[in-house]
Structure 1
Amino acid sequence: MTLDPESLYLQLGQLAETMPDLSRAGDWSTPDGQRWLGRLGALVESRGSINDTATVSASTQFLGGSTHDFNAQTIKAILFRLLAIAELAAPAAVRGRFITAGDALGALGAVSKVFGTAKQDLLLIDAYADHVLITDFVISAPERVQIRILGANKESRKAALKPAVDRWAQQFGTTRPLSVRVAPAAALHDRLILIDGVDVWSIGQSFNGVAKSSHTSLMKADPDLAEQKIIAYGLIWDNATPLA
């Protein structure tokens, strides 16, 4: 089955994000690791490249042997080459949704594109929300958009947020309205970006650690799931405590 460019890009990005440790003593040999290798092989095969398919198959077969390191590197190289090719072919609206480890600028760019679609309201859900979310990411939200942050009701998190919130209010006033509430950490199961009560994006890592040590991605929820998340987190926001 041939995948459309968008689906191929997103699926390859997800594989890169969830790649197991391919070192000799890594978790590539676990059931989850073997499933990952199987998914990679199937996606490579779906592109119709006989050479890449054969190379991935052979490299997978000889993991754990005397040429393990070479084979592991070959698998990674093919995955990231195909991801780069798929991104070029994908629609402009979804490009850049996969964020490689260490690419802080790419992370900011990807998040900024999503924030930029907001017209009225931007609700950010992150149990680990701290000053980084405000200083590094929220600054890219459009003016006049109501920005809301829902974080965890933990003293260390609140202490990290409060000075940044105060400085934000002093600098921007009503031109960039910002409000922060906290809820029990156990209630915040997701890291989400909710746009205008309609669209929902999930991000694979908390904002304060995005792309620092591992790959991640931004994924847009389908309409049914988005509606569920908007209702659920709307209720949590209504019952949350304003940051004091």
Structure 2
Amino acid sequence: MTPTTTRAQNNPMVNKHTISPEQLLALLEAAIGEAPAFTYEEELTEKEIRWLGRVDALLDASGLMSAVVNFRTARSSLGTFAHSREKILIPLYDALSHAELQVPLSMQGAFIPPGDTWNGYAALVKIMQTPCDHMMIVDPYLNSDIYTYFAPHCAAGNGMRCLTVKRSENHSGLLASGLKWAADKISEANSVEVRYASAKALHDRLIIIDSRESWLVSQSIKDIAQRSPASVMRAEAELGRMKAEHYEELWKKSTHVTA
């Protein structure tokens, strides 16, 4: 047995026959959303090193060798004069684009170029307009924009639940908007509830529909595509269900937004 064969058998991420296009798509989307800063002239942290290793395995599993080569070249250049976070991310977006072609149309989302904030907004609104019983928004950087620009479009019969983290720059806006929304007639047909999870509990940006369908958003809703490329992608069914269950439990432990 060759070393390559042993590696492929021991690491399912490398074996291209053990990962479905849907799983690959969801994992690439998650990796893009979790991409570290890779600050120039700073030592790589353990978290950054682990991310680089995970992405290398994902790209290898994708079978897109040009992305693998370009990623490894960019990785080896970190900390040198050729240091570039953009060149680290480009191979991931290449692999993501190829993976999108392999999944059913119902799972395909949207890729939004930097600066195209209108289409970023439109992609999110389209998902929120999905008829359903209830909807949960998970975003650690949520602000009052959720009331102004998104909640009016929510088609959930039982309203929208929003799970975020308390931040001083966003708290007063969320509190004031929540009180104003609740006092208006619009809340009778379209309720919105915002809760705070513990400071380090949220690691995703998600739109969860009826606790069964999860859409992965690569950036915080308020910043979608403002400065860098963004994507909105439906998670593979099992991953989506697991995330929905996880955040449903967090919701039960979260606290209401109060003064």
Are the aligned partners of 1:99 and 1:211 in contact in 2 as well (CA < 8 Å)? Answer: yes
8 A contact 1:169–1:178 mirrored in 2: no
Q: Is the CA contact 1:121–1:195 (under 8 Å) kept in the aligned structure 2?
A: yes
Report the equivalent of 2:125. Answer: 112
Match of 2:50 in 1: 35
SS at the partner of 1:89?
A: coil
Task: Tell me how far 1:111 sits from its aligned partner.
Answer: 3.0
Contact 2:107 2:233 in 1 (8 A): no
Which residue does 2:21 correspond to in 1? 5
Deviations 1:130-163 (A, max 9, x none): 4200122212212755334566788972455435
SS of the aligned residue for 1:189 comes to coil
The structure-2 alpha-carbon separation of the partners of 1:61 and 1:115, relative to structure 1 and needing over 3 Å to count, comes to: same
Kept in 1, the 8 Å contact 2:62–2:95? The answer is no
RMSD: 4.3
1:208 and 2:208 matched = no
* Percentage of identical aligned residues: 23
Matched, 1:226 2:249: no
Give structure 2 stretches of 5+ with no counterpart: 1-14
CA deviation map 1:103-124 (0-9, x unaligned): 4334434433442344223344
For residues 151 and 62 of structure 1, the distance between their equivalents in structure 2, rounded to whole angstroms, comes to 36
Q: Is the 8 A contact 1:118 1:195 kept in 2?
A: no
Structure 1 position 77 matched with structure 2 position 93: no
Whose radius of gyration is greater, 1 or 2?
1
How much does 1:100 deviate? 6.2
- Show the counterpart of 2:146: 133
Write out per-residue CA displacement over residues 146-193 of structure 1, whole angstroms, 9 at most, x where no aligned residue.
33456678897245543576368647464x32244656x638933664
- Given candidates 160, 171, 179, the residue that maps to 1:147 is 160
Letter of the 1:189 counterpart:
A
**Equivalent in the alignment of 1:92:** 105
- Partners of 1:126 and 1:188 within 8 A in 2: no
- Give TM-score scaled by structure 1 length: 0.66
Structure 1 SS opposite 2:105: coil
User: 1:189 aligned to 2:201?
Assistant: yes
Cα distance change of structure 1 residues 177 and 56 upon mapping to structure 2, 3 Å threshold: closer
Instruction: Identify unmatched segments of 5+ residues in structure 1.
Output: none
Q: Corresponding residue for 1:157?
A: 171
When residues 146 and 73 of structure 1 are mapped into structure 2, their CA distance, relative to the original with a 3 A threshold, is: closer
**Count of residue correspondences:** 236
Q: What's the TM-score, normalizing by structure 2?
A: 0.63
- 1:207–1:61 Cα change, 3 Å: closer
Q: What is the identity, as a one-letter code, of the residue corresponding to 2:241?
A: P
